[in-house]
Amino acid sequence: MRFIRDIHAGKEASGKPTISFEFFPFRTSEGEATFFGKTLPALMTAKPDYASVTYGAGGSTREKTFEIVERIQNDFDLTTMAHLTCIKHTQAEIGGILDEAANRGIQNILALRGDPPPGENWAQTEGGFEYASELVAFLRERGGFGIGVAGFPEGHIDCAEGREVDWPRLVGKINCGADLVITQMFFDNVDYFRLADFLEGQGVAAPLFPGIIPVANAGQIKKFSALCGATLPEAFASRLDELGDDADAVREYGIEYATAQCRELLDRGAPGLHFYTINKSNAVLRILANLGLA
């Protein structure tokens, strides 16, 4: 496997966008069988450059996350990044987790502060890290890993001071040694370009990959956006309300909207696209086909 920073450098040199997919650990054996038997083989037809696998609240899916990353890499020859969070882990424990990752052939880590389990408030683990920037610095000092971090075009939901405070913290994470940034999902490209302009103004060169989620279910996307603090533009939300319970129409509108969003992002210089797939393939493949990238 390769460092994602090197994969992106090759795509950038060829003038092509870097395309990546995000997956989450399965809740059932049936979901796992469907993913590896149908979903991922379908997505591989788009020739993605890399993938990532999420890490449950409080590290609840660590073993499963690493198993999935290892299987994707070994069975599908697709470089895959494992998410890793600070919460519920001491520094020594994180060192052991990274030993396990290296033994499994995992070379890329998305370094995150992380979310607490449901019903709990964020609290620094005694002997652990308080900020993602500390985890980035720990990874860089250790060596052997490509490092990604999260960026929030509208500011992190827990940052009451807003994006004016949150964005400089992102610069700090990058300066601690991050190779790349993947954004939280957003629905107004203005937010992405504002963040991109800010980073450029700070002299930051790490690629900023926009995180895109194709809307397939109106209720689901409203829940997701509320949880992460992503604003639904008024016209977008109104159209979803108009479509109501017409699931097919919502899916078609989601593909149409995401296609237009992606086209503008690429036309205006975004280095690639990172799709939050929700472990599904159809919408993402159709969007890439619409863009001439499948």
Count of CB atoms situated within 10 Å of the CB of 118: 7
**Known catalytic residue: 154?**
no
Query: Do 108 and 50 touch, CB atoms closer than 8 A?
Result: yes
Strand partners, 275: 21, 212
Structure letter (DSSP) for residue 110: E
Q: Which residue of the set 12, 22, 63, 234 is catalytic? A: 22
Could you give the dihedral angle defined by the CA atoms of residues 165, 167, 170 and 174, in that order, rounded to the nearest 10 degrees? -120
CA distance linking residue 272 with residue 18, whole number of Å: 4
DSSP percent split of the chain into helix, strand, coil, nearest 5: 50, 15, 35
Question: Residue 54 is which amino acid?
Answer: T
Angle, in degrees to the nearest 10, between helices 189-201 and 163-175: 50
Q: Among all residues, which ones are annotated catalytic?
A: 22
